[in-house]
Structure 1
């Protein structure tokens, strides 16, 4: 759960220009992208979350600086890439960040694990990170802050935009495609040591927080009015608590997508980032045509997201456009077609095809977690597999 301001695109970071750059063909725009990943720290003996973020972050900060950060709970670490327009560079950054933090975790006798929820429950509630803002949030939303089942880790993608109006334009047009993206990246079937029956239990836990869900259709004026009302009414403590699945950054020219679980398989993270950038490029290319965004209700989108959380990429999906029940793979194929012009403009089409084929062969993170338990019969081996994959073994 990201409760801090998005940091994957720090001010003055390389690659962050005044707006997206046009493709060489003059077609769809090719924007920078950045990734925030949240990880769990688990004890090497018990495989349960442990409150060792402070020493791990201190050790990792020497080589990484501001690219490694604390999170809401003291068993969590967040990394953030620098913005880049190149898929290969993004992969290299993610690999380096993971390997560096995993080594720092090893020195503190714990493992770095990318999973939407802990596989093994902590022996005792994990304390909240000791900052004024986190303490205030814990007091204000005490029923949500249990230090156990409420511990969740997400992956958040930033795509560069020219301004807030452009970010909201993209949020309005991309929102119906986010359930399909969520289905690709489900990676939290277990909670409290039990199989929840869902592929993304994180989605349900995170959905208990105010505004955590699909964004309404908003223009710049209505966004300001809505954000101000949410804070002034006390529903949210500040604008950083706007947890819509697609939102404009308050301090950077980006749109942030915050819909997927953290994934141990780096390829899944890269796939989601490239598809989102492809969608954004495609919609920006047609912005001058003045087409209104699809008028899909928040209620139907919420139902589609719940279906994605339940079944992932291997079951059924609720089509946000029609309300029909269809195979998830049909909706995912439509997503890839929708992103096609943007993928081709960035030179990402072949890479996305390769990543999708690999995901179909290997299965989603949730499917792989369940398969590991079926093979071993013990949750500790599920955690070990996640830790190996997270650090790149």
Structure 2
């Protein structure tokens, strides 16, 4: 079995160390971090956000090491600007100053075209998993096979229950907030010819600025030869990130065998996919989920067990099977990032304490698996 490489992009919020409110200090933070990280640290849509990206990895231990270094360097640069680097899907505490769009021509054009969406829209921070190396045709075929499993991956990673001081009732409010943008949602089943015609048509109609504005939950990357999985909130807990990346890569290895054998993708009607994603965003692993093919409602944790079983051959081929099972048991005991945020608030009564618990720390080190 061929095992793809895996890479991760993480988006963080910058918050003031005193108010814990988002602040527009990313240009200085990124400039400082770039002296060590170069192009691996980048700007995002708002000047209150910082993005880091790993290089492709063949071992999850290497992936963890890269993420630890990226986080430590970016967090150190943030502290020098009196900020915390926070891994939260949305701001826990409302901004005290207007969030400014990054001074970049592409972002300015996006803001002008989407001005009607930005009124009331906040910064959203995700974690994107890349598997490769794949050409566009193979990436699209893999996306079609992965569609029913994307809500299961999503339920593991909810980390945005609080939005601007209130409990939204969701594990992942980021998923809800971001869905106002065009094309956010499950990928359709398309070949390369239809993909190009569809996306170029959206660009010609003014719906999208370019192909990079395509926000399907699984999409061919336009800057690296990968399939990009975009269902996860950013998480402070590094174990959650490694578990998600291992599952994506293990599942991809298994499903690519079906792709290369010419097997048709599983039938998952759009309304069932949307329903499964809605349950994942609302309840995480602590409530009902849905089988996106049958529409049957099942406990989310049972769906995760099924995902582990389906991905097991790919996990084993990558040397990740034991790690994935250990990290899943740990996550099941501790709860998702969202449930841990609620536990902090219940214990302390302080949203500032919630933010502090989400601050990226240089202490992220491997745990024995």
Report the secondary structure of 2:359's partner residue: helix
Paired with 1:214 and 1:368, the residues of 2 have a C-alpha distance of 28
Give the direction of change, closer, same or farther, for the CA distance of 1:235–1:379 in structure 2 (3 Å limit): same
Paired with 1:358 and 1:286, the residues of 2 have a C-alpha distance of 31
Name stretches of at least 5 consecutive residues in structure 1 with no aligned partner: 1-27
356-365 or 69-78: bigger deviation = 356-365
Aligned to 1:43: 16
Give the direction of change, closer, same or farther, for the CA distance of 1:299–1:389 in structure 2 (3 Å limit): farther
298-307 or 34-43: bigger deviation = 298-307
Name stretches of at least 5 consecutive residues in structure 2 with no aligned partner: none
User: How many positions carry a matched residue from both structures?
Assistant: 365
Residue 71 (structure 2) pairs with residue 98 (structure 1): yes
Aligned to 1:244: 216
Return the TM-score normalized by structure 1: 0.91
Moved over 4 A (4+): 388-391
Residue 162 (structure 2) pairs with residue 190 (structure 1): yes
Residue 92 (structure 2) pairs with residue 119 (structure 1): yes
Whether the aligned pair in 1 keeps the contact of 2:23 and 2:97 (CA below 8 Å) is no
Paired with 1:145 and 1:123, the residues of 2 have a C-alpha distance of 17
Paired with 2:361 and 2:341, the residues of 1 have a C-alpha distance of 11
- Please show how residues 1-393 of structure 1 align to structure 2 within 5 Å: 28-146=1-119, 149-387=121-359, 392=364
Report the secondary structure of 1:247's partner residue: strand
Give the direction of change, closer, same or farther, for the CA distance of 1:391–1:134 in structure 2 (3 Å limit): farther
> Cα distance, 1:389 vs. partner?
5.2
Return the TM-score normalized by structure 2: 0.96
> Cα distance, 1:291 vs. partner?
1.6
247-256 or 152-161: bigger deviation = 247-256
Deviation sequence 1:333-362 (CA, Å, 0-9, x none) = 111111111111111100101110111121
Task: Give the root-mean-square deviation of aligned CA atoms.
Answer: 1.3
Deviation sequence 1:339-389 (CA, Å, 0-9, x none) = 111111111100101110111121100000000000000100000111155
Report the secondary structure of 2:107's partner residue: helix
Whether the aligned pair in 2 keeps the contact of 1:117 and 1:152 (CA below 8 Å) is yes
Whether the aligned pair in 1 keeps the contact of 2:273 and 2:292 (CA below 8 Å) is yes
Paired with 1:350 and 1:311, the residues of 2 have a C-alpha distance of 26
